[in-house]
A = this chain, B = another copy of it.
Amino acid sequence: MGQLKIRNMEEFAAVSGISRPTVSKYFNDPESVRASTRKKIESALEKHDYHPNVFAMNQNRRKTKNIGVVVPNLADPFFSEIGRRVELACIEAGYSPILLSSHGSPTMERDNLNSLRSLKPAGVLLAPFGRMSDKDAVQAFGADFPLVLFDANMSDTGQAFVGTNNAQSVDLMVEYLCRSGEPPCFFEMKSPSNPNANKRRQAYLESMERHKQTPNIFQADGEGWNFEEIGSVEGGRLLLEKAFSTNTVLCSNDRLAIGMLSAAYGLDLRVGHGADCHLRIAGHDDHPFSRFTCPPLTTIAQDYNAIANRAVSTLFGLLETEERPSDREETLFEGRLIMRDSA
């Protein structure tokens, strides 16, 4: 390390033998300076450990290297997992991700977007609540900053959307369940905030019709994010009442299914596709714990990696072109059937 402490870019420019404006240019984009000067700067960088003051940098720069990442709830493993991958992809590309959780509150989602405004983000990746989101706020934000939605779509909001093709994924599951046993009933929340839930219900109805089966939808009361609890209490009640018209239940998501599995266990109902089983339960999302439920949960795997990477690369595409594309791009990845023991 160097002997004297470098206090600012001026001093660093001095010791590296390059003028300050050029050094400034380097820190904005190392490729923008001649290879020989880049080398000088970088060797000085090794000797002196200088970091430009981020606050002074961002104050004057037109666009920062900040990328906002907003998810509805980090406590949900689905979002912590996809948030993780998005974060890493941003770092990989030399950006600074700022991960914000809305902690289950649409109000905080709006607050988070407002906080981000003052950070002048280069762009933002948002997994919105959906119908509970403050649509005006999100749209306004999308008008002011490059905005890519993921997981949950909102019409005419942001410049692009990346998610899973629920129609395809649910059909895949329904097809499998119909082929391998009794046709599935559908279990979901009564008033889901996430638009995927509605897409999945719709997909279930259409798929059942295509298979010439009678659809049967059961909706659980309950608000909030305690999906396992709701799945356990309401699902357990339905099981106890023998409400389900077939021995197969497709849950709108894994967390409901996990709750329902728990209830079934409590009621001594053996879940699975074996001869001695009373009931089949399937989920959707391939929640990290679904491999370890009892029995392991048959589900649909969303392509976390593809969604995260595409969301990030789509945003970077937006950053490069500068001008807003008139067409809103929607990318849907296919779900993959994960056959385990529960169905």
Contacts and interface: CB of A to CB of B under 8 A. Distances in A.
Interface of A: 51, 53-56, 58-59, 74-75, 77, 80-81, 83-84, 87-88, 96, 98-101, 103, 115, 117-120, 228-229, 232, 258-259, 261-262, 265-266, 288-289, 291-296
Given A59-B53, A59-B59, A81-B75, A259 B103 contact: no
Contacts of A117: 51
Contact of A55 (B56, B103, B295): B56
A101 B87 contact: yes
Query: A-side binding surface: helix, strand, loop or mixed?
Result: helix
Contacts of A292: 228, 232, 258-259, 261-262
A38 to B, nearest CB: 22
A292 B297 CA distance: 13
7 contacts: A55-B56, A56-B59, A74-B83, A75-B77, A96-B115, A259-B292, A262-B291
Question: Which 10 A-B pairs give the minimum distances between C-beta atoms?
Answer: A294-B294, A265-B294, A55-B59, A262-B292, A55-B58, A55-B55, A228-B292, A74-B80, A54-B118, A75-B80
A254 B92 CA distance: 33
Contacts of A88: 103
Nearest to A60: B55
A266 B340 CA distance: 12
Contacts of A295: 265-266
Nearest to A100: B99
B99 A84 contact: no
A118 B261 CA distance: 48
A92 to B, nearest CB: 12
Contacts of A228: 289, 291-292
Nearest to A97: B100
A53 B118 contact: yes
A182 to B, nearest CB: 23
A62 to B, nearest CB: 13
A56 B53 CA distance: 11
Given A74-B80, A261-B294, 18 more contacts: A53-B118, A54-B118, A55-B56, A75-B77, A75-B80, A75-B81, A87-B101, A87-B103, A96-B115, A228-B291, A228-B292, A258-B292, A259-B292, A262-B291, A262-B292, A265-B295, A266-B295, A293-B294
Contacts of A77: 75, 77
Contact of A84 (B53, B84, B101, B261): B101
A90 to B, nearest CB: 13
Contacts of A118: 51, 53-54
A100 B88 CA distance: 12
